[in-house]
């Protein structure tokens, strides 16, 4: 356990009992905690110190507060957030189950109807957030939690906070995950909900075929794929209209992407 996590555990000891580390990513470390007041397990995410310095407390709390107001069956709610000794943290329900990444690592491909059902649930969560002006910016299997057949989207607000902070310090820096990043996001442009829909199209493609589509952003240059039609053969088990409904949100030009995944 690091010095910062020990400080976090000691300072929050009256509210949470820090049990163990359960995950570590590029932006945060996840701990399984016990909410003492409500007698329930929770997941506490502590942002990496260098990211916390870039973000700043006020900006972090502002963005996380916007995300906390989202209410939808497929959006992981936020219980608490704050700062301790320079460490930014937020607290969410602990979900019994696994991430979509864990499921794909184990099984590689999902049955068509299950993959489409998961995509529709994620699309519903995104539609709710987008209607309130909130863009996720980092839709990927690691941020989708699966429990008892239900998909829940985690980490709304975090990528936005990091994006806003890094724009001040590194012009044109793209925040997100390369394999799922839209061309406009990769280029550091202003994004809207269609960027999340692009990422969801990549995610659904991976669920159906066992890997993300080729042509993702892997450097400072945006994807070159103008038309996703060359991926139709990878979805040969589906009839053609459904293939296009799945792939259309992945078009490079934003205005040609269509209305998302609720009809898959």
Q: How many CB atoms lie within 10 A of CB 143?
A: 25
Q: What sign does the CA torsion over 155, 161, 164, 167 have?
A: negative
Is 74 in contact with 120 (CB distance < 8 Å)? no
Beta-sheet strand order (sheet of 144-147): 98-99, 144-147, 150-153
Return the exposure string of 15-34: e unless at least 16 CB atoms fall within 10 Å of the residue's CB, then b.
bbebeeeeeeeebbbbbbbe
Q: List the one residue out of 53, 37, 54, 33 whose CA is nearest residue 45.
A: 33
Which member of 138, 155, 192, 227 is catalytic? 138
Distances 26 to 8, 69, 116 between C-alpha atoms, Å:
19, 25, 28
Active site residue 138: yes
Distance of CA 176 to the CA centre of its chain: 9
Q: List the one residue out of 179, 225, 220 whose CA is nearest residue 202.
A: 179
Q: Which residues are catalytic?
A: 138
């Amino acid at each position: 356990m690091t010095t910062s996590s020990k400080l976090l555990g000691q300072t929050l000891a009256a509210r949470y009992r820090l049990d163990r580390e359960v995950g570590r990513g590029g932006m945060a470390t996840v701990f399984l905690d016990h909410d003492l007041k409500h007698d329930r397990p929770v997941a506490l995410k502590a942002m990496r110190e260098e990211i916390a310095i870039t973000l700043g407390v006020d900006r972090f709390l502002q963005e996380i507060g916007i995300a906390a107001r989202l209410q939808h069956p497929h959006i992981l709610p936020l219980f608490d957030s704050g700062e301790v000794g320079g460490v930014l943290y937020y607290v969410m329900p602990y979900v019994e189950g696994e991430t979509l990444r864990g499921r794909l690592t184990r099984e590689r491909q999902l049955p068509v109807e299950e993959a489409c059902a998961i995509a529709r649930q994620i699309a519903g969560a995104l539609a709710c957030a987008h209607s309130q002006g909130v863009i996720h910016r980092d839709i990927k299997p690691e941020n989708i939690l699966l429990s008892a057949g239900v998909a829940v989207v985690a980490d709304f607000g975090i990528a936005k906070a990091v994006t806003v902070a890094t724009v001040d310090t590194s012009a044109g820096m793209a925040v997100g995950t390369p394999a799922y990043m839209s061309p406009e996001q990769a280029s550091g442009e202003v994004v809207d909900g269609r960027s999340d829909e692009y990422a969801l199209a990549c995610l659904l493609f991976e669920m159906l075929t066992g890997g993300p589509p080729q042509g993702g952003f892997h450097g400072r240059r945006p994807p070159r794929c103008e038309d996703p039609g060359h991926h139709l053969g990878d979805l040969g088990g589906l009839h053609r209209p459904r293939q296009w409904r799945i792939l259309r949100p992945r078009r490079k030009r934003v205005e040609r992407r269509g209305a998302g995944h609720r009809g898959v």
